[in-house]
Chains A and B, each alone.
Chain A
Amino acid sequence: MALRRFDLEAGGDSFSFKPETEEKVAFWRAKYPADKQRSAVIPMLWLAQKDNNGWLSEPAMREVADRLEMPYIRVYEVATFYTMFRLQPVGKFHIQLCGTTPCQLRGAEGLKEVCTREIGKQMYVTDDKRLSWEEVECLGACVNAPMVQINDDYYEDLTPETLSQIIGRLRNGVELTPGPQIDRVNSAPEGGNITLTEPALFDGSRNSVSVLPNLPEPPPAPEPPPEPEPTPEATGQPDKSAPTNTDREEPSSKDIKE
């Protein structure tokens, strides 16, 4: 981790929360008593970062300090302590690439090469201001390693090819689907379920209480229904199947369309 310092030049002189953010500011501040308002410093900094194109400028930090009546140095300490507060400008799409052991073992090194090749050095913002990337510590999606976080969404089960494709789409403003980029639902097995496939588990037939302990006379157990053929949901061929997470809310797609 390199030295973290405010980019004072890019930060300008002033910052103000967007009008629609004020509600959230009020929400967080309302959680704490009047004399303990400084407890809201982390969510407030987070909102300020969101309102400042994904990074925390010095005026933005001061705005938070002024609102919470905290000395600037105390807020500065918090802002520099947490690496998720970025003190330098980032692109419209900021890629946080997980480089911790599970992802590394599953090929994060290759993803880093892709980012370096297609974007540049870490924290470098492309000329069109659309892209930047940095390596971060574990994002907690090890089961879908390797993965990246782009703005608020996880893109998982990546290969250098799929990441390169994603970067290309971000650059060109093409819609993206977050989540696993291979044929699997969230962290379910690749190519469909291989356990818990019995329909009886899901049709409610096993829900009736069979035996209550210590009852004087146990009622007779019901007949088990015949076992049906397993019907896999996924085909195991990612290119040929439709995405399985289409009903998911996609906050990033709006960004891409504009």
Chain B
Amino acid sequence: MSDTFKLNIDGQEIEVPKHYTLMQACEEAGAEIPRFCYHERLSVAGNCRMCLVEWQGAPKPIASCAQIVGDMRPNQDGSAPIVRTAGPYVEKARNGVMEFLLINHPLDCPICDQGGECDLQDQAVAYGRSSSRFEENKRAVEDKYMGPLVKTIMTRCIQCTRCVRFAAEVAGVEEMGMISRGENAEITTYLEKALTSELSGNVIDLCPVGALTSKPYAFNARPWELRKTSSIDVMDAMGAAIRIDAKGDAVMRILPELNEEVNEEWLSDKSRFVWDGLGRQRLDRPYIRENGKLRAATWGEAFEAVKAALAVNPDKVGVVAGDLIEVEQAKAALDLFRSLGVKNTDCRPAGAGYGTSGVREHYILNPTLMGVEEADALLLIGTNPRVEAAVWNARIRKAWLWGDLKVGVIGEAVDLTYPYEHLGTSAADLDKLASSDFYKILKDAKRPMIVVGERALCREDCLKLSQTVLKLSQDVGAVVDGWAGFGVLHTAAGRVGALDVGFVPAEGGLSTADILGGGLSTVVLLGADEVDLSKLGNAKVIYVGSHGDAGASRADIVLPSAAYTEMTATYVNTEGRVQMTTRATQPKGEAREGWAIFRALSAVCGKPLPYDTADQLRALLRGQEGEHTVFSGRGYAPGARGVSALSQPVPDVSGAFSSAPLATPVVDFYLTNPIARASKTMAECSALASRLDTPVAAE
């Protein structure tokens, strides 16, 4: 028996694998099949009937999404079955389906937010009748509450159940369902509770009609008015592909774009709904603190003040880079401060013990985000991917659900939406791992994957921990030819990029904890709001950032910089994948891109940097022609290229593990950075999440 099957689709002979659905086969043949309920990443429901095609000899039209090609049989004479995706028969069938779908649809397109990007609207134009024959009353459905993000107009629902399947399969929270039946069928969450998923916004994209729409975006804009810009998200370290839709100077919404290797087509709620934070709490001009109060200043005044503040012993100056720093700013700032003789530079959280060895593979996610689908055993150490990289967590769930991934966790025992073996809560449990059953699973696995949370490497015992985990990776065969199974999961979008440009203490320099520990005369914060600023003492604080948050309120001089939607900048995600954002709107007021601030400052300080444009700066990062640097390629993750570096012998580190439990740095998923903290939507989500202490489901 061959694994392929011959079909005759629209007169074209085509051979496809037997597990294909007829819809896939038709698309292979170049035909376009309309659909509502079918979605590539969800299970097949087959309930909208829009994808009907004609199979010659079959008594009825065939729902192509639910027909497996391997189940079809050839014609009586043995020739390939004849399938037609167009023609009067198919048109009549789809016309009938469309007529039924529209019977209870309100046709309120003029006031519907989906208007202009609605599958039902488009397909009604293509397949529908010109007018309605339905004279009875339409049914109406009560709108449901689904939380602060998803707005429902349930009368528009056509019961495709994509949202139900998404919640159950991808998001892993079985909270949505279809209740009652027949004409009374309704989509709802259980007793209209808010969705508790970090991915709930994706049901808005999935909904083929206007039943589930974005609550914060409601009635704000029409799709054709929006300027669409492809960019990269910075809310977590994944670097998901996004499309920023802007009108005038404001970002109106953020949508996911397809990047199979990073976010597939999903986006976390924080990334999707953070945009209202881009218009609030913005630093739109320089400020200088005088008599305890910040007053607006010109750039010239601010630069003079900064110059004065930096005119001290360079050893008394410290620079801390924050979570959202872009590579260009990190590079320009580092170049400037090094030329001023400053050694105290750091981009890592307090207590970090990684990133100084010069081995890039020790701080990136070598197995890659997509690699988890190849892996057959996964050990998570001190990380909660559900809040640290929500979209990746859905991919782990996918690998568990459709594959046979086995997961073990050392860290907090939280609901990850998939079952796992809990192997302990503290680093000391790593010592016990070797005698556990899960060790055997790791050892027997073909592609074992070991992921350490970045915060686990920011503890007293981090050197011991990283050495132990590296050794473990080598022992269980996670580092073999073609598979680098050891990785670090970061939470900050800017961290890997800043580490890649070397934003760590120079020889003899102080690290974050010491810079912030008091004793310095000047501290420069590059958007660093997630650090403890309470011990700075009398130090003069210069804050460069986009939002008025913890850093700006402590600052003596504030230099406004652009946010991630307002600049074309380079970010490196947790896998070491170099990606670029694109400017979608102008920076607010007098704000400038971070690198340009330091270029201008360097001239004021008399040490001009050797680049005048961002392109020159990036060319410098890329290196000479033929030279290979981290930044010479874009868009790919190094992955298994790291095997040789990871298979180096690991030096022994003495000492014992601390008994402190391994915790995630993400205390509140919705409020992890200054942009999110400025967002009303995120504040609402956070307040709701903290109230939802009663679990909604038994599972």
Contacts and interface: CB of A to CB of B under 8 A. Distances in A.
Given A65-B698, A66-B698, A73 B174 contact: yes
A69 B189 CA distance: 18
Contacts of B189: 73
A9 B581 CA distance: 53
A22 B697 CA distance: 23
B184 A1 contact: yes
B683 interface: no
Contacts of B181: 80-81
Given A76-B177, A77-B177, 8 more contacts: A4-B179, A4-B180, A8-B191, A66-B698, A72-B698, A73-B175, A76-B179, A76-B191
A77 B161 CA distance: 13
A71 B179 contact: no
Interface in B415-474: none
Q: Which of A69, A72, A74 has the most CB of B within 10 A?
A: A72
A80 B189 CA distance: 13
B552 to A, nearest CB: 44
A73 B191 CA distance: 8
Chain A interface size, as a band, is 10 to 19
A70 B698 contact: yes
Interface in A161-196: none
A3 interface: yes
B180 A80 contact: yes
A34 B375 CA distance: 28
Contact of A3 (B184, B190, B697): B184
Contacts of A70: 698-699
B698 A77 contact: no
Nearest to B177: A73
Contacts of B191: 6, 8, 58, 76
Given A66-B698, A73-B189, A73-B190, A4 B184 contact: yes
B176 interface: yes
A72 B191 CA distance: 10
A21 B270 CA distance: 48
Given A65-B698, A66-B698, A71 B175 contact: yes
Interface in B98-157: 142
Interface in B642-699: 696-699
Interface string B371-382: 000000000000
Interface in B388-421: none
26 contacts: A1-B184, A3-B142, A3-B180, A3-B184, A4-B180, A4-B184, A6-B191, A69-B699, A70-B699, A71-B174, A71-B698, A72-B190, A72-B697, A72-B698, A73-B174, A73-B176, A73-B190, A73-B697, A74-B177, A76-B190, A76-B191, A77-B179, A80-B181, A81-B179, A81-B180, A81-B181
Most chain-A CB neighbours within 10 Å: which of B174, B191, B698?
B698
Interface in A32-83: 58, 65-66, 69-74, 76-77, 80-81
B178 interface: yes
A66 B696 CA distance: 11
Contact of A80 (B176, B179, B697): B179
A70 B175 CA distance: 11
A172 B331 CA distance: 91
Contacts of B174: 71, 73-74
Contacts of A3: 142, 180, 184
Contacts of A58: 191
Interface string B266-307: 000000000000000000000000000000000000000000
Given A3-B184, A76-B190, A69 B177 contact: no
Interface of A: 1, 3-4, 6, 8, 58, 65-66, 69-74, 76-77, 80-81
Per CB-CB distance, the 3 closest pairs between chain A and chain B, nearest first, are A71-B174, A73-B177, A71-B697
Nearest to B696: A72
Contact of B699 (A1, A6, A71, A76): A71
B27 to A, nearest CB: 32
Size category of the binding interface on chain B: 10 to 19
A4 B181 CA distance: 10
Nearest to A6: B191
A85 to B, nearest CB: 11
Nearest to B174: A71
A123 to B, nearest CB: 15
Nearest to B179: A80
A58 to B, nearest CB: 8
A10 to B, nearest CB: 15
B164 to A, nearest CB: 9
Contacts of A8: 191
A18 B176 CA distance: 31
Contacts of B178: 77
A72 B176 CA distance: 10
A59 B292 CA distance: 59
A7 B316 CA distance: 69
Determine which residue in B142, B177, B184 has the highest number of CB atoms from chain A within 10 A of its CB, and name it: B177
A76 B174 CA distance: 12
A74 B184 CA distance: 17
Contacts of B696: 72
Interface string B166-186: 000000001111111100100
A58 B180 CA distance: 15
A1 B179 CA distance: 14
Nearest to B176: A73
B104 to A, nearest CB: 15
Contacts of B698: 65-66, 69-72
B178 to A, nearest CB: 6
Nearest to A66: B698
Nearest to B182: A1
Contacts of A72: 190, 696-698
A3 B178 CA distance: 13
Most central of B176, B184, B190 by chain A CB within 10 Å: B190
A74 B167 CA distance: 12
A76 B181 CA distance: 12
Contacts of B190: 71-73, 76
A73 B698 CA distance: 10
A65 B175 CA distance: 13
A23 B178 CA distance: 32
Contacts of A80: 179-181
Contacts of A6: 191
A8 B191 CA distance: 10
A1 B180 CA distance: 10
B612 to A, nearest CB: 59
B432 to A, nearest CB: 29
A71 B164 CA distance: 13
A11 to B, nearest CB: 11
Contacts of A1: 184
A127 B426 CA distance: 62
B171 to A, nearest CB: 12
A77 B181 CA distance: 9
A113 B283 CA distance: 74
Nearest to B142: A3
A83 to B, nearest CB: 9
A70 B174 CA distance: 9
Nearest to A79: B179
Contacts of A4: 179-180, 184
A225 B142 CA distance: 74
A65 B697 CA distance: 9
